[in-house]
Amino acid sequence: MKKLTSLMTATALTAAAATPSFAETWDMPMAYSGSNFHSVTGAEFAECVTSGTGGEIDIKTHPSGSLFAGNDIKRAVQTGQVPIGERLLSAHQNEDPIFGVDSIPFLATSFDQADDLWEAAKPTMEEILAEQNLKLLYSVPWPPQGLYFKEPKESIEDMEGVKFRSYNNATARLAELTGMLPVQIEAAEISQAFATGVADSMISSGATGYDRKVWESLNYFYEVDAWLPRNYVFVNTDAWEGTSQDNRDVLMGCAGLAEYAGTWRAKEYTQFTLNQLAQNGMTVTPASDQMKAELKEIGETMTQEWLDKAGEQGEAIVERFREMQQ
């Protein structure tokens, strides 16, 4: 990974002027902890841009929702309160169903499939973001999502009445269809929510559980590989258009390297974090055959619901994705 970091910096430096004509600080809010691999990748991206532009664009990252809460980051970038930020766009699926394409249960359940789904969806996503005064820079997937619980679960029936942390429309709907009670909780609030009993379960990656030390409150992680959501880094269009072509080239070059490095980290992090959950006392195991079958049925229901809302754009994305799988 050190080689990747060096490569990001070296690549940017080739486009940098020796002395900046002016310096501009770009504050970059991020929702997840500084140790999370998305935040680490974002910090390297920021260093790459700062070095590559010779300091003309000096990006400062603010992890853990310290500058803006996760749910406020996208709006802050749209309105120019900050020029750049990172967000889990599926949390804004209520604005446009396409934002939830990466969270359709059991449509794309591996990194390769997630890459194909992203390739199919990216042009449409870029168009929608452009309409919202945003320019997409890069996107990085999370590891596959699994189910966390305090008590053991063998079937959907066992989930009835459990307080479930939701973070987007898909997770809230999953809770409803399984009989659980959805509670909206941002990533920075997870540890406190579990410790205080506000929630007793969630669907998330091993990375989130590891970062938040959920073994202090939860005991079981079931591998269901439901989906691989993505984090997105985007810049305010006015800020983008106000930069020189050379600096835009640096931004996009660093973005490409960050997407590669972040995806590499996600893959490497998957088994590591599951091992850490187990080493800290959690039971990490595949879901029962009954739970898998029942979740698959729920996934089919949610896929159709998403297609109904996403209309022709959504149908075209899913059709392109399915053609790639043949």
Domain range for 320 is 146-226+282-324
Within-domain flag for 201: yes
What is the Cα–Cα distance from 215 to 225, expressed in whole angstroms? Answer: 20
Assigned token pair, 108: 């794309």
CATH number of the domain enclosing 53: 3.40.190.170
Whether 104 contacts 303, CB under 8 Å: yes
**Residue 210, Cβ density class (10 Å: 0-12 exposed, 13-18 middle, ≥19 buried):** buried
Within-domain flag for 277: no
The verdict on 58 and 187 lying in the same domain is no
Assigned token pair, 119: 């390739």
Q: Helix, strand or coil for residue 202?
A: strand
pLDDT value at position 20? Answer: 46
Number of helices and strands in the chain (H, E): 10, 11
Render pLDDT for 77-122 as a digit per residue (tens, 0 to 9).
999 999 999 999 999 999 999 999 999 999 999 999 999 999 999 9
pLDDT value at position 13? Answer: 44
The verdict on 221 and 245 lying in the same domain is no
Spell 13-50 as b/e; 16+ CB within 10 A means b.
eebbeeeeeeebebbbbbbbbeebbbbbbbbbbbbbbb
Whether 162 contacts 149, CB under 8 Å: yes
**Residue 185, Cβ density class (10 Å: 0-12 exposed, 13-18 middle, ≥19 buried):** buried
The verdict on 115 and 193 lying in the same domain is no
pTM above 0.85, yes or no: yes
The verdict on 41 and 87 lying in the same domain is yes
Pairing of strands 24-29, 57-62: parallel
Within-domain flag for 276: no
Assigned token pair, 306: 């998403």
Phi, psi (rounded to 5 degrees) for 82: -135, 155
The verdict on 139 and 154 lying in the same domain is no
The verdict on 151 and 297 lying in the same domain is yes
The verdict on 139 and 235 lying in the same domain is yes
The verdict on 246 and 313 lying in the same domain is no
pLDDT value at position 6? Answer: 53
The verdict on 62 and 159 lying in the same domain is no
pLDDT value at position 4? Answer: 53
Whether 121 contacts 319, CB under 8 Å: no
Within-domain flag for 121: yes
What is the Cα–Cα distance from 186 to 190, expressed in whole angstroms? Answer: 7
Within-domain flag for 107: yes
pLDDT value at position 23? Answer: 82
Smallest CA-to-CA distance from 74 within 61, 65, 63, 85 is with: 85
Within-domain flag for 79: yes
Assigned token pair, 199: 């929630």
Total domains in the fold of the chain? 2
Q: Where are the beta strands (DSSP E) in 224-294?
A: 230-236, 283-286
Torsion of CA 265, 322, 299, 229, to 10 degrees: 20
Angle at which helices 169-178 and 289-324 pack, to 10 degrees?
140
pLDDT value at position 187? Answer: 86
pLDDT tens digit at each of 326 positions of the chain: 554 555 554 454 444 443 445 689 999 999 999 999 999 999 999 999 999 999 999 999 999 999 999 999 999 999 999 999 999 999 999 999 999 999 999 999 999 999 999 999 999 999 999 999 999 999 999 999 999 999 999 999 999 999 999 998 999 999 999 999 999 998 889 999 999 999 999 999 999 999 999 999 999 999 999 999 999 999 999 999 999 999 999 999 999 999 999 999 999 999 999 999 999 999 999 999 999 999 999 999 999 999 999 999 999 999 999 999 99
Within-domain flag for 235: yes
pLDDT value at position 138? Answer: 98
The verdict on 116 and 133 lying in the same domain is yes
The verdict on 152 and 88 lying in the same domain is no
* Distances from the Cα of 261 to the Cα of 7, 9, 140, 195, 243, angstroms: 10, 13, 9, 33, 25
The verdict on 239 and 112 lying in the same domain is yes
- Beta carbons within 10 angstroms of residue 283's beta carbon: 12
Within-domain flag for 36: yes
Q: Helix, strand or coil for residue 319?
A: helix
Q: Where are the beta strands (DSSP E) in 2-107?
A: 24-29, 57-62, 84-87
